[in-house]
A and B are shown apart, each in its own frame.
Chain A
């Protein structure tokens, strides 16, 4: 990964500086001294705005969030400490466990379908064309706000007037109230975001495929390998590091689905079938004003995503590439 490359580069830089210092000792000073003593003061000047932003809007709220999670804060009166009460409530909160289950179901549906489609799409593009126009078209859904995408799919999948039901009934297949059905609401939301993110994911994988050297394919063609065989035996194994990272990023991102759920006619419902964890936290904080409990759930989400990332990285051996 890039981290490794940068470390190498830094090490090279240090070596160069060491050589320069060695020259200094022999009496040939190539330039005046201050540069040798680090760039502390000027670095502070460069970093000041970012440090301010980081301290006020990342570090301070992180500490405050952890503190809120041990209080009964409700946004109106001052918070009172309640110890670990929020966390023990959480363990016995069926809505919390349901939100985890629903989120996981969404992640499986969305990341599963989107990754498979994106791999196929990227593989096709890679062997067929380098067209920028095609890539640009595939990026469009990703650039559009999730709210717009959600709204558009609410319309396409509308029970009465939507195009999907219209087409389904004209070919004689049964229609559904997609967003009002406990069975179909989550898959429909997953499909919505799969549409929105497949092109983007495909482009990331495609960028990974462009790193594969040409001669590998030429050799395989000479050996008489077919396209499908090359895809499974060459392309897929060789983009594994990129694929692993795309998967980690997609899972983390999908776990945080909110916008698409929030604009459905009955967010969280019907009957808790779409109350994903992000939406649950939002409801607790801004509808029930249970900021303390919401912070405890958010804190738990931080832990879950942290563990999930580590497990995935291990499983996928993301940092090792067959090309390296």
Chain B
């Protein structure tokens, strides 16, 4: 790609522009650093030790107590309220929640996206318009009856209830994948048709293998959305056995005394919600940012 740079006759402007950009990056990253720094500070030193860039006596006790490795007495000594914390379990629940939704939803929506992009059947355009229309409905509108449904089915407090509404589809994923399949040249399938393969075989043996990249990307994005989910998993699976990280954080904060919140513990737990997505960025960041023109709003 040809490099479009500022004209060389403006060195001051160029320096200033870089300064603003670097400042923006610092503002973006600094709060994460502060989160980590707080998590590594002993609770009783929080007031005294808040000026240096690194804690004077860094400790892992806050991480140990949020993942449930310490005794009640140790928790209270380290500034905790004594409420039992088990963020390792919530981390596991979050990972199950995200993995289930991301894999199943991606495959179901890929099948539907392919049908909408490539197969000819009655009502195709009507169905597609319905999906597009439902993109605009605010989630809270369907959340209320969906909660009532889960309650009637007796699925409250189960993984089944938590994943049900998004397991099979979201209109966005169908829309995204349809747009993607439209961009694959038809000739490839035509070649496969001549070889005698039916649509079903073509899809699984030709289309899916050659679309691994985009399918993986939409899977990643779905996983990130599931990772950020708060209200639905909180309403449907609030018990420790199904509690996800975001719900765990919210509940931890509520249990923490209002006058003196357990900041070091809260930040240690927060770090746990950042590490997995930070790892995703390190390994797949390039893929994510390069797909943005397409995934965002195209």
Contacts and interface: CB of A to CB of B under 8 A. Distances in A.
Nearest to B248: A147
A23 interface: no
Contacts of A65: 141-142, 144-145
Interface stretch (B54-62, B70-78, B165-173, B208-216): B165-173
B151 interface: yes
B3 A130 contact: yes
Interface string A203-246: 11001101100100100010000110000000000000010011
Nearest to B118: A39
B17 A259 contact: no
Nearest to A218: B4
B63 interface: no
Given A145-B230, A305-B136, A35 B164 contact: no
Contact of B285 (A60, A126, A136): A136
Interface in A102-129: 117, 120-121, 124-129
Interface stretch (A43-51, A86-94, A182-190): A43-51
Q: Chain B: interface secondary structure?
A: helix
Interface string A10-38: 10010010000000000000010001001
Nearest to B224: A143
A156 interface: yes
B142 A121 contact: no
B293 A207 contact: yes
A316 interface: no
A52 B174 CA distance: 13
Contacts of B246: 145, 147-148, 259
Interface residues of A, number: 111
B230 A259 contact: yes
Contacts of B140: 256, 258, 278, 281-282, 298, 301
A147 B115 contact: no
A127 B5 contact: yes
B108 A50 contact: yes
A176 interface: no
Nearest to B277: A143
Contact of B134 (A31, A58, A281): A58
Contacts of B108: 49-50, 53
Contacts of B17: 124, 127-128, 227
B126 interface: no
Given A38-B122, A298-B138, A195 B230 contact: no
B38 A155 contact: yes
A42 B144 contact: no
A249 B199 contact: no
Contact of A47 (B28, B115, B298): B115
B119 A42 contact: yes
Contacts of B120: 38-39, 43
A242 B294 CA distance: 12
Given A49-B108, A127-B4, A145 B267 contact: no
B4 A50 contact: no
Nearest to A5: B182
A199 interface: yes
Contact of A265 (B20, B131, B151, B258): B258
Contacts of B127: 47
Contacts of A54: 130-131, 134, 168-169, 171
Contacts of A315: none
Residue among A57, A204, A299 with most chain B CB within 10 A:
A57
Given A156-B34, A166-B50, A58 B142 contact: yes
B250 A147 contact: yes
Interface in B223-249: 224, 227-231, 235, 245-246, 249
A138 B25 contact: yes
Contacts of B121: 38-40, 43-44
Given A1-B298, A143-B281, A144-B273, A256 B21 contact: no
B154 interface: no
Contacts of A158: 261, 263
Interface string B159-181: 00000111111010010000100
A199 B289 CA distance: 11
Contact of B266 (A2, A124, A155): A155
CB-CB nearest 4 A-B residue pairs:
A53-B168, A207-B293, A136-B285, A61-B145
10 contacts: A9-B182, A53-B167, A54-B131, A68-B145, A147-B246, A161-B263, A203-B289, A203-B296, A208-B293, A298-B138
Interface of B: 1-7, 10, 13-14, 17-18, 20-21, 24-25, 27-29, 31-32, 34-35, 38, 46-47, 50, 108-109, 111-112, 114-115, 117, 119-122, 124, 127, 130-131, 134, 136-142, 144-149, 151, 164-169, 171, 174, 179, 182, 186, 193-194, 198-200, 203, 224, 227-231, 235, 245-246, 249-250, 253, 258, 261, 263, 266-267, 270, 273-274, 277-278, 280-281, 285-286, 288-290, 292-293, 296-298
Given A57-B165, A140-B277, A143-B280, 18 more contacts: A6-B179, A50-B169, A60-B149, A136-B289, A139-B281, A145-B227, A151-B270, A152-B270, A203-B292, A203-B296, A204-B293, A211-B293, A217-B4, A227-B6, A227-B17, A249-B296, A302-B138, A305-B136
